[in-house]
Amino acid sequence: MGIVSDMNQDQKIAALERKVKRLERKTDGGNAEMKLLKELVGTEVVINANSMYESKCRIEDIDEEWVKITEHGRKNDTVKFIRIDDIENVTVAKEQ
């Protein structure tokens, strides 16, 4: 029973952190990450998120909370959405 309540608390804390960040963005008039990522729309990049996820992709679109990417797979491309808050770093791919 304790593990379940811990998971529920973790989920509630994460939800509250997202709400606080959203409120901070609204009061600050936007965040720096969003502005920088908007400049990269249409660019090939490598995104690292959540310490486990690394993706070669193209940034398609961005809003206050989400980044839409096209991830390049071996057989086909996949469209994904990533929370801006989850992105740890972005590396711009070299043009060949």
Q: Which of 60, 65, 33, 32 is nearest to 44 (CA)?
A: 60
Check pLDDT > 70 for residue 78.
yes
Share of the chain above pLDDT 70, in %: 83
pLDDT at residue 87, rounded to an integer: 86
pLDDT mean across residues, the chain: 81
- Tens of pLDDT along 35-47? 788 889 999 999 8
Strands (DSSP E) along the chain, which ranges? 44-49, 53-62, 66-72, 77-83, 87-92
